[in-house]
């Protein structure tokens, strides 16, 4: 069983929290995806100059959240901030694989942090909590590297270790999504649902619409400070039928 769970400490520290989880089964990460390619091209053609520190109020809200748990957001940037700055500087988004390219498109289009985990590689529940400093993290692209999150840092974890650092700044190597991933949980986040809930809902609808045509099944869940756990995410991704 794999639930998505927000710890009481994180829920209390960020009462405006809203996270949507889009869970897919049978995702096709191999076939050409002309619609995604076209939408990425349109977004890149409209790329704007490097944003200033106060240009987007949602990014400003995330910077405040990072400072609240002791991270300097100018050094370890929220994922949407880093992605938008990369787009502005190069005029392009990275091409990784269809699943990652899809959530990057949505993240950059709506200025919301987005990420994903391969559910087949997750051990037990996914928990968003404060680090105690003893945890081990192996960053994406650094399989021989081990880091220890700072005490009080917001992290995603499972029973086997840390899945992200600085909330959504960097993902782990172990649970990365690849072109062979079929059971995936995609996550979109805001720390101020009152102001940015409609933006997050629009982003979630866009992501779900794109993923639906590439997946055998799809389910959407919402987490708030008042609803700190989802049902079993694996229940939304039934096993592939026998041939």
Determine which of 18-27, 52-61, 101-110, 172-181 has the lowest per-residue pLDDT on average.
52-61
What are the tokens at 170?
Answer: 């960097």
Q: How much of the chain exceeds pLDDT 70, in percent?
A: 96
Across residues 127-155, what is the average pLDDT? 95
Chain position carrying tokens 């990057």 = 104
Residue 243 lies in a domain: no
Distance CA 33, CA 159 (A): 34
Residue 54 lies in a domain: yes
pLDDT in the model for residue 243? 40
What end-to-end distance do the CA atoms of the chain give, in Å?
25
Give bridge partners of residue 156 from the DSSP assignment.
128
Across residues 4-12, what is the average pLDDT? 98
Which residues are CB-contacts of 187 (< 8 A; sequence separation ≥ 6)?
4, 19, 20, 21, 22, 114, 115, 116, 117, 168
Q: How many domains does the chain have?
A: 1
Would you place residue 242 in the very low, low, confident or very high pLDDT band (cuts 50, 70, 90)?
A: very low
Which residues are CB-contacts of 208 (< 8 A; sequence separation ≥ 6)?
22, 218, 220
Q: How much of the chain exceeds pLDDT 90, in percent?
A: 91
Q: Is residue 156 a contact partner of residue 96, using CB atoms and an 8 Å limit?
A: no
pLDDT in the model for residue 237? 60
Residue 80 lies in a domain: yes
pLDDT in the model for residue 48? 83
Chain position carrying tokens 């998505």 = 4
- Tell me the pLDDT tens digit for each residue of 223-240: 999 999 999 998 866 555
Across residues 3-10, what is the average pLDDT? 98
pTM: 0.95
Across residues 93-100, what is the average pLDDT? 97
Which residues are CB-contacts of 2 (< 8 A; sequence separation ≥ 6)?
119, 122, 124, 125, 126, 158, 232, 233, 234
Residue 242 lies in a domain: no
Q: Which domain CATH number covers 10?
A: 3.50.40.10
Taken in order 177, 179, 185, 187, is the CA torsion positive or negative? positive
Range of the domain at 213: 4-236
Across residues 31-43, what is the average pLDDT? 97
Q: Is residue 194 a contact partner of residue 178, using CB atoms and an 8 Å limit?
A: no
Residue 52 has pLDDT above 80, yes or no: no
Would you place residue 144 in the very low, low, confident or very high pLDDT band (cuts 50, 70, 90)?
A: confident
- 202-to-106, 109, 208, 230 alpha-carbon distances in Å: 10, 10, 10, 20
Query: Which of 36, 45, 24, 152 is closest to 92 using CA atoms?
Result: 45
Residue 241 lies in a domain: no
Across residues 54-72, what is the average pLDDT? 96
pLDDT in the model for residue 238? 59
Across residues 41-57, what is the average pLDDT? 86
Residue 145 lies in a domain: yes
Residue 33 lies in a domain: yes
Residue 35 lies in a domain: yes
Across residues 97-105, what is the average pLDDT? 98
- Tell me the pLDDT tens digit for each residue of 158-169: 999 999 999 999
């Amino acid at each position: 069983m794999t639930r998505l769970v927000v710890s009481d400490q994180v829920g209390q520290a960020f009462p405006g929290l809203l996270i949507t989880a889009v869970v897919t089964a049978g995702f096709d990460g191999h076939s050409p995806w002309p619609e995604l390619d076209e939408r990425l091209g349109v977004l890149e053609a409209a790329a704007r100059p490097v944003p200033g520190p106060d240009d987007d109020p949602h990014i400003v809200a995330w910077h405040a959240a990072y400072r609240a748990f002791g991270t300097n957001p100018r050094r370890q940037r929220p994922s949407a901030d880093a992605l938008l700055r990369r787009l502005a500087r190069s005029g392009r988004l990275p091409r990784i694989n269809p699943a990652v390219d899809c959530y990057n498109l949505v993240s950059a289009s709506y200025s919301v942090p987005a990420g994903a985990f391969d559910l087949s590689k997750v051990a037990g529940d996914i928990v968003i909590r404060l680090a105690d400093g003893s945890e081990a993290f192996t960053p994406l692209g650094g399989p021989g590297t081990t880091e220890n999150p700072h005490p009080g840092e917001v992290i995603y974890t499972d029973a086997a270790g840390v899945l992200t650092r600085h909330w959504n700044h960097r993902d782990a190597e172990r649970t990365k999504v690849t072109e062979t991933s079929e059971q995936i949980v995609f996550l979109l986040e805001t720390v101020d649902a009152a102001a940015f809930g409609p933006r997050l809902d629009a982003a979630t609808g866009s992501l779900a619409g794109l993923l639906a045509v590439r997946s055998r099944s799809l389910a959407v869940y919402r987490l708030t400070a008042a609803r700190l756990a989802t049902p079993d995410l694996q229940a939304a991704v039934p096993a592939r039928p026998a041939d």
